[in-house]
């Protein structure tokens, strides 16, 4: 009976015990698996939409594409790994254990960095609309997206340096995969720095958006045809800012509980129920983003219909009118 409860029955004194699954755990397993599949599927639709349809190749959508890639990887890699690790022993060795922890940190950090780029994009579009076409070009956006992912990689390596240098050093028994990270560094690079930038930029965007909305209602800016066209452009930018502002707000609500524990100097055990709940709340943000796009972006709903009905396989489908 004792052997059946061990990860490695042949190692009686050094093997970890197998996690026990309760009836409620079985239901939770299926719910989390469904969320993981839904997250990957919805974000794959975003990736296909922006990549395939030429009309969607805008600078803002390139940033949404970067965010969708990180969210897709959350559903494809991070969530399944988290589910499997809580349901069974670790049989893949210490090196893959180190890689397993590196990937979630990289993906989550890249997601936060993509949010920062989206905030910068909206800041320039709303606060400096005349300079936006020249300042925010496709080439520059691609460059900063690459910088975003490189930043996420270096931060992840920095946080897990000891674990990568000596894999398995924190395991207490065979069949375990645990890690000890610097909570202060994680808090600064993955939360405080990006969140501070996001909040500061969106406060400025909100102030400018309110003043522009008042100007539009009073018709101050609609004196000439040129100015009325400028107002129409600003209205579209304001609508995009509101939608992306909701994305940012949902991002903050999903990420804040996890990191606020560190801010209050409270301790939380890795692998505990509370830690697992807050981690999955963070991951669930990746499922909510495409749902927000579907609710607020007509082009995304049109793209989904074309993808689901396989019309994207037809010649010239990339030229479809979605806007």
- Eight-class DSSP state of 193: H
pLDDT in tens, 71-110: 999 999 888 877 777 767 777 777 888 888 888 889 988 9
Q: Per-domain residue ranges for the chain?
A: 23-319
3-class DSSP state of 206: helix
- Is residue 293 scored above 60 in pLDDT? yes
Instruction: Find out whether 47 and 68 touch, Cβ atoms under 8 Å.
Output: yes
3-class DSSP state of 20: coil
pLDDT in tens, 40-71: 999 999 999 999 999 999 998 999 999 999 99
pLDDT in tens, 133-150: 899 999 999 999 999 999
Enclosing H/E stretch for 18: none
pLDDT classification of 182: cutoffs 50, 70, 90:
low
CATH class, range 23-319:
mainly alpha
Q: Give the residues across from 174 on adjacent strands.
A: 15
Predicted TM-score (pTM) above 0.85: no
Residues 6+ apart with CB under 8 A from 82: 32, 104, 276, 279, 280, 283
Residues 6+ apart with CB under 8 A from 159: 105, 181, 182, 185, 186, 189
Assigned token pair, 88: 């069974």
Distance CA 323, CA 320 (A): 9
């Amino acid at each position: 009976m004792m052997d059946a409860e061990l990860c490695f029955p042949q190692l009686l004194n050094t093997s970890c015990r197998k996690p026990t699954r309760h009836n409620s755990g079985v239901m939770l397993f299926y719910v989390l698996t469904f969320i993981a599949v839904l997250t990957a599927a919805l974000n794959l639709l975003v990736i296909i939409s922006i990549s395939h349809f030429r009309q969607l190749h805008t600078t803002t959508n390139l940033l949404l594409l970067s965010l969708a890639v990180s969210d897709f990887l959350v559903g494809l890699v991070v969530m399944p790994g988290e589910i499997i690790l809580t349901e069974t022993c670790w049989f893949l060795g210490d090196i893959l254990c180190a890689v397993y922890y590196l990937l979630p940190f990289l993906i989550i950090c890249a997601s936060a960095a993509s949010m920062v780029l989206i905030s910068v994009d909206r800041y320039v579009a709303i606060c400096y609309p005349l300079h936006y076409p020249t300042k925010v070009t496709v080439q520059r956006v691609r460059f900063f997206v690459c910088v975003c992912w490189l930043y996420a990689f270096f931060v992840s390596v920095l946080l897990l340096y000891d674990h990568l240098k000596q894999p398995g050093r924190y395991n207490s028994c065979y069949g375990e995969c645990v890690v000890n990270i610097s909570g202060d560094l994680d808090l600064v690079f993955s939360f405080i720095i990006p969140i501070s930038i996001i909040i500061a930029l969106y406060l400025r965007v909100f102030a400018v958006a309110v003043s522009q909305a008042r100007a539009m209602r009073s018709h101050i800016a609609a004196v000439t045809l040129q100015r009325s066209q400028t107002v129409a452009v600003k209205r579209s930018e304001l609508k995009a800012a509101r939608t992306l502002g909701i994305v940012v707000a949902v991002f903050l609500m999903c990420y804040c509980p996890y990191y606020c524990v560190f801010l209050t100097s409270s301790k939380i055990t890795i692998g505990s129920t509370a830690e697992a709940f807050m981690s999955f709340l963070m991951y669930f943000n990746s499922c909510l983003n495409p749902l927000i796009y579907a609710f607020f972006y007509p082009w995304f709903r049109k793209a989904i219909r074309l993808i689901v009905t396989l019309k994207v396989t037809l010649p010239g489908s990339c030229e479809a009118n979605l806007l």
